[in-house]
Amino acid sequence: MNFDTVRKEYVTQGLTESHLDPNPLTQFQRWYEEAVAANVIEPNAMTLATATRDGIPSARTILLKGFDERGFTFYTNYESQKGKELAENPYAALVFYWATFERQIRITGVINKISPEESEAYFKSRPMGARLGAWVSLQSQVIPNREVLEERLTELMNEFADTENVPMPPYWGGYCLAPNTIEFWQGRINRLHDRFRYSRINDDWKIERLSP
């Protein structure tokens, strides 16, 4: 395949500082709501990049499950690769990309676990299959085949056949990334994209335009 011929011009719209809210979380909400209104497939899908203590990176796509003044929340197995890396190195990055709008948002910051009470409240809201799946999957560990997952799921379905009260695994819960920087990227023609970075300074945010 010749990747030199794979090219797209970004022509939808521009972005100026006058378009931006002083608070990047409010600006994020605007763009997120526009993606939802446009029926973008999984608008809350985001890439989470983590690294080991020695700086060896890894990245994967996960789902945002909430955002507020604290930051961006997601849930996972604490014993997974990302969980182990976050225990060693709490600095991480998020990336959202909405091709429909030719937009990208990059976020960096520090990640901490949220309270067990908040994690449990979310866990209880999940579909039954997803709650059982959290018990079935020893996330990131090597397994011999898919059958071990199917068999364990069947066992749990039988065990909880008469109840909806599936407890939250002790190794499962939420994280929140508190942002230090948030960058909004709008595709433009001739690769002269619009980029604005918010940097946290105490309780305020500094906005700067970046060269593409």
Pick the catalytic residue: 191, 195, 197, 209?
191
Spell out the residues 6+ positions from residue 92 whose beta carbon is closer than 8 angstroms to its own.
Answer: 48, 49, 50, 51, 86, 108, 109, 110, 111, 177
188 annotated active-site: no
Residues 25, 30, 76, 54, CA torsion sign: negative
**Are 123 and 134 spatial neighbours (Cβ–Cβ below 8 Å)?**
yes
Tell me how far apart the alpha carbons of residues 170 and 121 are, in angstroms, rounded to a whole number: 14
Catalytic positions, please?
191
